[in-house]
Structure 1
Amino acid sequence: MTTFVKDIKEIPSLKPPQETFVDDPTSLSEINLDDLVFDLQNGLKNLNNLHILHIIFIYSITLKFIIKLQQHPELFEKFRNQVIENLGVKDLLNELESHSSRSPSICDDNETRLKIDTSNTQIFNNLNSSNTSISTNTETSGSSSSSSTTSATSSSSDLNNQPKDNNNNIRMDEPNLTILKDHSHDDSNDSLTEVRKFDHNFGEILMNNDKNISIFADENIDDIRYKGNNNDNNDNKTEPVYIPLEKLIETTNLQTPEELETENNQKELKKLSKEIYNSQKVKSSINHQHLIKIFNLIKLPNLSIQNFLLRINQYSSSISKVAYINSIYLIYKISIILNFIPLTNENSYRLIISSLRTNIKNLDDLYQKQKIFKNVIGLNLKDLLKLEISFCYLINFNFNFNLNYNFENTLKNFLNFEFIELVNFFKFELFDDYIDIVNGLST
């Protein structure tokens, strides 16, 4: 009786398989999805040795499976919960939801920025209103422009009429200080007052101190010694103080690469959980509904998704494979993980354009002009720029590679786990649709 091993990793002494003398595919019909999944699972295919047609095949399959899966809401929620649980952020999301129910003051980054802008606007309005009131008082009182209050708020014509001898006696800090303190007493206004007071007195400090002027006027500025006298001899120099090695070891936090990777992974998971939580809050806003309408098409083009990607590759062959894969991952993230936009046939084409184009500009060294790329995809310059900006706001300017140490690992995880998880789930739950989609790509 013969037995079969489902996974070659179950045999411990077997060498890892390697591809030898394998021809690259010349069309999408030569790619078999089951063989591709097997190669990705067992390390035969990775980010480095995938052919561009393999990537286009993965791109097309991912979009078609997500579009079909979102037509079945129950299966979509089941798969999304499975993905979130495998990512390890389910417990973090539950903590955020329970914490937000106890303290409703938690807000996302957009709300924080809005509060900051509102406070700054309030400060600016306070300053304008106070300046307007003082200028009104000076007009009604009929006082001369030589007073300190009038000099702080007088117009350019009044300043021209002042005597030149009194220009040095004008103090700009006192009226501004009284304006701010009379109008408001919050910390932001006090800090703004100190900045204004420093700016007005800084010129007087330089004018009254010849040493400070010599610092900026000296030609040999590199030879200036700010601490100590220039007449110090080498014999009088004090020996530098060295920290003992034992004390350095006690006060230094030494982490192994494994511990550092674990800590960074925890930070990424917390960041992702906050992103998922905040996306559900923004999803119900009017601005979000208006934003996703930009990607919808009134009429579908004659080209299918795979033929559209093949056209882009034909006329823009300089696009890197990393840009393609990260473009797929971002669409997968906003449609599955964040559940931020429903992926349909009407908006998939423009999402491909915007996601791919923004990744090209950020990841690729070879830059293709907008005028050339617009002819490839069939858009004008205005609509192309509009799609790029809208996509940046859709993903909240988080392109997965900005200040992210785990960029390469994220793409590897998408190919080795998340894409395979999507294929296996779709094959098990919607087998008939699975066969139709795969056969459609082959033909």
Structure 2
Amino acid sequence: MAELENPNVMTNLITFLSSLLKRVSESNDNKQQPQRISVFHGLSRPTISIHNYLERIFKYANCSPSCFIVAYVYLDRFTQRQPSLPMNSFNVHRLLITSVMVAAKFMDDMYYNNAYYAKVGGISTIEMNFLELDFLFGMSFHLNVTPNTFQAYCAHLHREMLLMQPPLDFPNSSLLKSSSSSKAHLLCSNNDESHNSHHQHQKQQQQQELAV
């Protein structure tokens, strides 16, 4: 938990994830294969970069750090189950905000409503509702992430990050705690009273900033 909450680790994780998603999206942009249009597709490529968009989500979503790993798991599950909907530059931003929102709802004890995530993502609440529904059905509601699965994805991301120069700090498998609960206690339990108080204070600050 301490490693993921380290600002440097999270900065590196966001940098790597955005680079990975950018690479995948651009690769699929260049593939000459039929791609089904979905609610995740925009009419044009968003002007905000994937990196800046992910930083915005990290700043305002205020979810537990592990939610970003779980969101990556969800994205992988979604694309595997929806081969006709590969991630590209026209849908990656909407897939990102939706996956983080769903992860936060499933993982965290405290989270925002859809209207707030819509503001973070720069879309309407109605669109956010449709995205969530399509995403859940697209994953066949396969939301549970076991400690073993979480560890496997951490290890995969760690290996990929080691290929980057210079190497980036990343949490290791010691972060995992065994659990048989549906939420798997993937290092983002918010049961501590002081943590909840701090979380609530941050929520109020974030809401005030977005309202400006």
User: TM range, normalised to the smaller chain?
Assistant: 0.5 to 0.7
Please report how far the alpha carbon of residue 293 of structure 1 lies from its aligned counterpart in structure 2 after TM superposition: 1.3
Q: How many residues align?
A: 162
Contact 2:81 2:138 in 1 (8 A): no
Deviations 1:167-216 (A, max 9, x none): xxxxxxxxxxxxxxxxxxxxxxxxxxxxxxxxxxxxxxxxxxxxxxxxxx
- What's the counterpart of residue 155 of structure 2? 416
| Alignment partners' CA distance in 2, 1:396 and 1:307 | 30
2:43 aligns with: 298
- Matched-pair contact (CA < 8 Å) for 1:55–1:325: no
Distance in 2 (CA, whole Å) between partners of 1:308 and 1:364 is 21
Task: Give the Cα separation in 2 of the matches to 1:54 and 1:422.
Answer: 9
Distance 1:418 1:306 in 2: 17
Q: Which has the larger radius of gyration?
A: 1
Identity within the alignment, %: 24
Whole-angstrom CA distance in 1 between matches of 2:144 and 2:122: 28
d(CA) in 2 for partners of 1:414, 1:337: 18
Equivalent residue in structure 1 for 2:73, among 329, 347, 359: 329
Q: Give the CA deviation at 1:410.
A: 1.3
CA RMSD of aligned residues (A): 3.3
1:375 to 119, 130, 151: 119
Q: Which runs of 5+ in 1 are unaligned?
A: 1-44, 74-283, 402-406, 428-433, 435-443
Instruction: Structure 2 unaligned segments of length 5 or more: list them.
Output: 166-212
What is the TM-score of this pair, normalised by structure 1?
0.32
Contact 1:46 1:412 in 2 (8 A): no
Q: Determine which of 299, 302, 307 is the counterpart of 2:52.
A: 307
Q: Cα offset for 1:340?
A: 5.4
With over 3 angstroms needed to count, the CA separation of the structure-2 counterparts of 1:373 and 1:315, relative to structure 1, is: same
Indicate how the Cα distance of structure 1 residues 396 and 57 shifts in structure 2: closer, same or farther if over 3 A, else same.
Answer: same
Structure 2-normalised TM-score? 0.64
Are 1:52 and 2:10 an aligned pair?
yes
Q: Give the 3 Å change call, closer, same or farther, for CA 411–69 of structure 1 in structure 2.
A: farther
Residues of 2 paired with 1:340 and 1:299: CA distance? 19
Relative to structure 1, the CA distance from residue 67 to residue 398 in structure 2 (aligned partners, 3 Å threshold; closer, same or farther) is same
Residues 72, 312 of structure 1: CA spacing in aligned structure 2 closer, same or farther, 3 A cutoff?
A: closer
Matches within 5 A, 1:34-433: 51-70=9-28, 289=36, 293-316=38-61, 318-335=62-79, 339=83, 341-401=85-145, 407-417=146-156, 420=159
Which 10-residue stretch deviates more, 392-401 or 412-421?
412-421
The alpha-carbon deviation at position 383 of structure 1 amounts to 0.6
